[in-house]
Amino acid sequence: MSDIERLAGAAREAAAALAVMTTDQKNVALRAMADGLEQEAERILAENRKDLAAGKEQGLSSALMDRLELNGRRISEMSEGLVEVAALRDPVGEVMEGWRLPNGLEVEKVRVPLGVVGIIYEARPNVTVDAAGLCIKSGNAVILRGSSSAINSNRALAGVLSEAAVESGLPGGCVQLVDSVDREAAMEMMRLHGAIDVLIPRGGEGLIRTVVESSTVPVIETGVGNCHIYVDDHADLEMALEILDNAKTQRPGVCNAVETLLVHRAVAPEFLLKAWDRLGAKGVTLKCDQEAREILPECDDATEEDWKTEYLDLTLAVKVVEDLGAAIAHINMFGTGHSDAIVTSDYGRAGRFTAEVDSAAVYVNASTRFTDGGQFGLGAEIGISTQKLHARGPMGLAELTSTKYIIRGSGQTRT
């Protein structure tokens, strides 16, 4: 039996025990895990510094280094996040609906844990904590496989979380980290159909595509965010500028940051000049189509590839479009189904945009940066699902459950 198979076996046993634990038992463990992070903060930061030094040597991008870096504030935020998860309503056991049949059978549709959840992710040590907390609260055991760039941070975090959980009465194997960073370890996880119930990849397009295409375990596809903002000719241009600035520059290295700006031809000259003044001063590089370059000759030329690119950096693709229909067509052709926005004062156009843009989150007059479980009031998330089965959009506790039917009778038989 391989190391991965042993982890999966332990997780399967833990999942069976977790599925019947009370909400109070899980909440006690979550609060102990939160305390453990605070108490072991210095050790965690020391391990994180090793990863940061290695990342600098390897030439990791500024966006990846930002995701990799931990500090006292971020550890406190992760700890607070676990406490917040403990305060959320437990979905396990919720009766979603129920009815009585003419033959007297009583049918209930009830939420139950998924079982064993595998997470394969890149340089994001916060995912270690988020995933562990959400899986524990929803009654799932979790197997974490991070990237080599965060291995020291992940070992420290997972060790603290697992120890605190077990000391609080949760079963051993409820939170486990794959210690190997070899690609084969991740591939083996993808082949453990029947031992792992679902895989969730968190990272760039290459990682997600590999997991989706290689896995025999069911996959929930998350993350890649080629997000758009369309500025209509009925837009408040000052509002549009604030929204664009926030969506591009507040934190460019995340999946809900805007990557492509579409502007109606009628307002393009005025708006693009305003946008260049604001964004250029913050170091944003614009890649423009021919019509936008006639307004902003300072821009770089956009290629077909730019319309498909998730930059995760201070780069923005810009295209002038003829009308709303052209904007919708562009988004549905090049977008990734993550988050897209329209800025307009026309109610009818807003309605058409929300109806026709096929994305997990569609905004009217707001920044795409709100696509987040906490911001949506879900408390936390394990990722943003960009597929349509079994969940779409921010995946909170409810999305980490499945359902079962419970049928109660009094001796009924089928004829």
| Contact (CB, 8 A) for 240 and 262 | no
> Residue 415 and residue 397: Cα distance in Å, rounded?
40
- Is residue 182 within 8 A of residue 201, CB to CB? The reply is no
pLDDT tens-digit map of 96-122: 999 999 999 999 999 999 999 999 998
Whole-angstrom Cα distance, residue 82 to residue 76? 10
The pLDDT score that the predictor gives to residue 290 is: 97
Say what the pLDDT of residue 64 is: 83
Model pTM score: 0.89
Rg (CA), the chain: 23
Amino acid at 380: A
**CB within 8 Å of 410: residues ≥ 6 apart:** 104
Specify the pLDDT at position 63.
Answer: 74
Residue pair 151/58 in contact (Cβ under 8 Å)? The answer is no
The predicted structure's pLDDT at residue 381: 85
237, 359 Cβ separation under 8 angstroms: no
Ordered domains of the chain (ranges, CATH): 3-222+395-408 (3.40.605.10), 227-370 (3.40.309.10)
Decide the pairing of beta strands 116-121 and 106-113.
unpaired
Residue 258 one-letter amino acid? V
Packed helices 183-190 and 3-18: angle between N→C axes, nearest 10 degrees: 50
Looking at residue 350, its amino acid is: A
- Per DSSP, helices labelled H in 267-337 are 268-280, 290-295, 324-334
398: tokens are 């409810």
Q: How many CB atoms lie within 10 A of CB 53?
A: 11
- Taking the C-alpha atoms of residue 372 and residue 342, their distance in angstroms, rounded to an integer, is 18
pLDDT at 222: 84
Output the pLDDT for position 294: 97
Q: What is the pLDDT of residue 127?
A: 93
Q: What is the pLDDT of residue 23?
A: 98
The pLDDT of residue 377 is: 83
Q: Which two tokens stand for residue 202?
A: 């968190």
Question: In the chain, which residues have pLDDT < 50?
Answer: none
